[in-house]
Homo-oligomer: A and B are copies of this chain.
Amino acid sequence: MPTDIEISRSATLKPLTDVAADMGIGEHLIEPYGRSVAKISLDAIEELADRPRARYVVVSSLTPTPLGEGKTTTTVGLGQGFGHIGHRAVIAIRQPSMGPTFGIKGGAAGGGYSQVAPMESVNLHLTGDLHAVSSAHNLLAAMLDNHLHKGNPLDIDPFSISWRRVLDVNDRDLREIMTGLGGKPHGIPRQTGFDITAASEVMAVLALADSLPDLRKRLGRIVVAYDHNGIPVTAEDLRAAGAMCVQLREAIKPNLMQTIEQTPALVHCGPFGNIAHGNSSVVADLIGIHGGDYLITEAGFGADMGAERFFNIKCRASGLTPDAAVIVATVRSLKAHSGKYKVVAGRPLPDEMLAESPDDVHAGSANLRKQIANIRAHGITPVVAINAFPSDHESEKQAIVDIANSEGVRAAVTSHVAKGGKGAAELAEVVAEACEEPSHFHYLYDDSLLLEDKIDVVARRMYGADGIDLSATARKQLDSYQNNGFGSLPVCIAKTHLSLSADPSRKGAPTGWRLPVREVRASVGAGFIYPICGDMRTMPGLSSRPAAEHIDIDETGQVVGLS
């Protein structure tokens, strides 16, 4: 099989105005950025409003291994698969972060014959949206430190400052830093640090705003610190929100691309799954929902996290109602959930995991069953997509089908990486069937519930916990958020994505445990409260052999080493 980059380069791509036309988007709404990407004006939301509404499908997964189970490739493949069965689909995916691309991944535009093309654009800068997020975020940081330096008229408590800085790079040495050294002309010494840009609240804001004015308002609401009386200090108070919005006025427009089979692809925003909602943008979906028969959108991590946040955070912001949810499952992930094997990021699978063993697959079924229940808890019909790998045995894939069917859930094997849309045609058929079932979509909890109770509901109903244990700090923070008027926000629980529990080593569907909440933070601009349950890394590091070492240009100026 050719490499990802070879497949991407050999694809025949349509002019983007034709791709847009397929979605009903006129040329006047399209701004080209290079030859293979275009930004879509937000006027498209209103102009397309009278077109028929697409079926809305979210792609999530069972609890993944550290290798990932192929949600992005399945999203791309499913979009292409609909084309093969005569339907028009639009896909919506997140923009990958350059940090991991040059760190461990080497790229994230899909893979094999299910890719968004050209993959160099997706993986490198795209239209600069992530950089605009960094700029806006760091302008606010500079204005905050400048405020302290110029006499601190707002009486900010320096020890309450939660606003760090961001860069789109894997750089562990920036996690904890001291700034403002060198004497009085150079600022006020303070301990702080950098997160990766995807972890910026500005990214979450951009992904959840439904218009430019809404973006402006959300930016103004960002809380960066508290004054000495405990009153929140916002980006608006620092007079930074207007300039931040100006820096983001192009970034809020979704990026239109296409898959290698010419399926329209919206690539927009990438909020970090660890501490934010991990979904692509609301505006992309508001455009895509009128762009075809099906809109396939991706949610990060397992269904307990990505899909739960999709339902309770993103759909709350967009007002859109999903029709079905795909749960991506793999033979290797179900085997891993048997608890018999240890899968490590960046290393090949253990040999014994490759031997034929449908029993191991069945031994890991509890996780898949739980994730199916998690989708149903929101009134949505699940579909299991079995993402086939060359090393899978037929009996193992059939075991997953059997597990799904025993839960009354449709399932299909999909070989979109090896075969493109043709390989996902059966999956598209069963997703289409699922979409015809009545949707009874509802949120998991009311806005009016206490924050503590919202966390408890998610922990019990999604994760299978017996309850939550708040630290003294967490309790104090929750009280403060309730008192400051943030109590009506939804919650975005920051826990490991490698287990339904808060302990990444516990596989399957653990029971008899409680969710420990160490502290709670607030993304008031984005519009959620995020309890921290475990060590959440917000700035990755590089390995001994970063992917960057093998990325280069060749003699003809072509990029090599991306995947």
Contacts and interface: CB of A to CB of B under 8 A. Distances in A.
A244 to B, nearest CB: 8
Interface in A7-65: 31-35, 39
In this complex, the interface size class of chain A, counting residues with CB under 8 Å from chain B, is 35 or more
Interface stretch (A144-152, A273-281, A316-324): A144-152
A124 B248 CA distance: 9
A546 B138 CA distance: 14
Contact of A142 (B32, B34, B171, B562): B171
Contacts of A178: 177-178, 181
Contacts of A35: 31
B186 A553 contact: no
A146 B216 contact: no
Interface in A94-149: 98, 102, 124-125, 127-128, 131-132, 134-135, 138-139, 141-143, 145-146, 149
A224 to B, nearest CB: 14
Interface stretch (A235-243, A371-379, A481-489): A235-243
A2 interface: no
Contact of A243 (B179, B188, B212, B551): B551
A541 B182 CA distance: 14
Contact of A551 (B142, B170, B242): B242
A177 B179 contact: yes
A156 interface: no
A390 interface: no
A173 B191 contact: no
A552 B215 CA distance: 12
Interface string A245-276: 11101100000000000000000000000000
Number of copies: 2
Interface string A214-230: 00100000000000000
A149 B124 contact: no
Contact of A150 (B141, B544, B550, B561): B544
Nearest to A178: B178
B171 A141 contact: yes
A172 interface: yes
A353 interface: no
Most buried by B among A173, A182, A548: A173
B124 A125 contact: no
A555 B217 CA distance: 12
A557 B212 contact: yes
A169 B249 contact: no
Given A187-B175, A191-B181, A135 B169 contact: yes
A145 B173 contact: yes
A562 B242 CA distance: 12
A505 B166 CA distance: 39
A243 B176 contact: no
A243 to B, nearest CB: 4
A185 B178 CA distance: 17
A249 B553 contact: yes
B250 A125 contact: yes
Interface in A203-217: 212-213, 216
Contacts of A154: none
A520 B360 CA distance: 66
B171 A186 contact: no
Given A135-B125, A146-B172, A242 B186 contact: no
A114 B170 CA distance: 42
A423 to B, nearest CB: 31
Contacts of A418: none
A352 interface: no
Contact of A181 (B135, B165, B177, B551): B177
A239 B551 CA distance: 9
A69 interface: no
B175 A242 contact: no
Nearest to A552: B242
A173 B188 contact: yes
A293 interface: no
A171 B172 CA distance: 21
B135 A131 contact: yes
6 contacts: A124-B246, A128-B128, A135-B168, A142-B542, A240-B548, A243-B548
Interface of A: 31-35, 39, 98, 102, 124-125, 127-128, 131-132, 134-135, 138-139, 141-143, 145-146, 149-150, 165, 167-182, 185-188, 190-191, 212-213, 216, 239-240, 242-243, 245-247, 249-250, 541-542, 544, 546, 548-553, 555, 557, 559, 561-562
Given A33-B34, A34-B250, A142-B171, 9 more contacts: A102-B139, A125-B132, A131-B135, A143-B542, A146-B171, A167-B167, A178-B181, A242-B553, A243-B548
Which 7 A-B residue pairings sit nearest by Cβ, starting from the closest? A242-B552, A173-B187, A176-B182, A131-B131, A128-B128, A243-B548, A142-B171
